[in-house]
Structure formats: structure tokens, C-alpha cells
Amino acid sequence: MSKKLLSIYCSGSIKKGSADDKKLCWSGAERTDVAAGAAPHELVFLNPDDPIPDPGNTLGQFGRDMYQVMIADAVVADARERRGLGVGIEIAAAKAFGTPIIVVAARNSKYRQDVLEYRGVTVKDYVHPHLASLAKAVVDDFTQAGKVLAKLPPGNRAPAKIPDWLQPAIDEYRDNLLAKDPPMQEALQRLSRLRE
């Protein structure tokens, strides 16, 4: 197996303050597990929780997330527990861009049940319909997500057509914030260097 370079968008909850201390969020542990599963491939993680140059620019902040989803080789969505609007939008945008989506949802968790009484019937091997319909894979843990990543076909997917509803946000980010965004500049330079 030849070594690949993959960029991964880390979709999941972000700690916005002390009220979120008990939330399961992406951390170094999750990134280490994804990397272990994807070995020997090299990964560049695109993190929505990196600081942004102008936090008051909400359109640009949304555009940053959407830009990262658009350029990623895959989105790994953390669905270990209940998630909010942001993760749903990221998954929908990834599908619109053609970015593969891998969902981490352990068996018998919020979005995945071995047996579920649902709408008056018993459903076996239930996965939330939105995730089942949009994801390339639904896996138990982050190591398994890395294993799915390792099997993705080589990059070079066709450039995404940006949906009209995302264009203004991505333009705002690219035009006004990207050049002042050190974590993103570093990720882009690393991807460019390693892909040459």
C-alpha cells in the first residue's frame, strides 16, 4: 500500500466555555486514534476550534468551517453523543461538496441502536436516517474511522461546485480572513509541500 496524505475535517462539538466541560469533543486522543487507524498514511487535521482572526465576523467564521469541509479529503463526524445544528450543517455541506463522511457513533449510542422502538415498530441495527443516508461509513470508534480513511481512493477528486447558499460565507473567509489565519495557512502549506 502506497503512503497517502489525507486532510481530515474534525466535525463535532466545540467547547465554547465552562458549561461544555463535560461534552465529548475532538482532542489529541481522538486525532491519535484516527492516525493510528490510518497508518501508515499521513494526516493533516483541519480543526474548526482553532482560533479565528476576527471572531466577530460570523459569516467569515461559518465560511472557514465550510472552506475546511470543502478542501478536506474526508470529514470525520463525532456522533458519540447528541450533536447540534453545526455538525448537521457540516455533514450536509460535505455531501454537497462530494467530501466523504465517516461518522463515529458507537453501538447503542444516541444515533445508533441495536434495537429501537421507533414509530410504532421495532427496528434492528438502527442508524439515524440522516447519518445512514449521507455517510460513507458509520463506525464504532476513531481508530475504525482511520481504517476507513486509509481505504479511500487517492485524492484528486473533482473540485467542488460551491452551492449558492455557501458561496457568500466561503468568499468572506477567503477574501478577508484566510491570509490572517495562521493555523489554516500552516495546514495549507503542509498539504502543498507534502503533495508536491
Widest pairwise Cα distance in the chain: 56
Q: b/e string for 121-148 if b means 16 or more Cβ within 10 A?
A: eeeeebbbeebeebbbbbbebbbbbbbb
Domains and their CATH numbers in the chain? 5-183 (3.40.50.450)
d(CA 74, CA 45): 10
Residue 40 preceded by cis peptide, ω within 30: yes
**pLDDT at residue number 94:** 95
Average pLDDT over residues 51-55: 88
Percent of the chain with pLDDT over 70: 91
Other Cβ atoms closer than 10 A to 154: 10
Strand partners, 45: 8
Q: What is the pTM of this model?
A: 0.91
Q: What is the pLDDT of residues 145-172, one digit of tens each?
A: 999 999 987 655 666 789 999 999 999 9
The arithmetic mean of pLDDT across residues 88-92, rounded, is: 96
Mean pLDDT of 96-101: 94
> 51 pLDDT band (50/70/90 cuts)?
confident
pLDDT in tens, 109-120: 999 999 999 889
Written as one string, the DSSP assignment of 142-176 is: HHHHHHHHHTSPPS-PPPPPPPTTTHHHHHHHHHH
pLDDT given for residue 194 in this prediction? 66
Percent of the chain with pLDDT over 90: 75
**Position 133 pLDDT exceeds 90:** yes
Confidence tier at 23 by pLDDT (50, 70, 90): confident
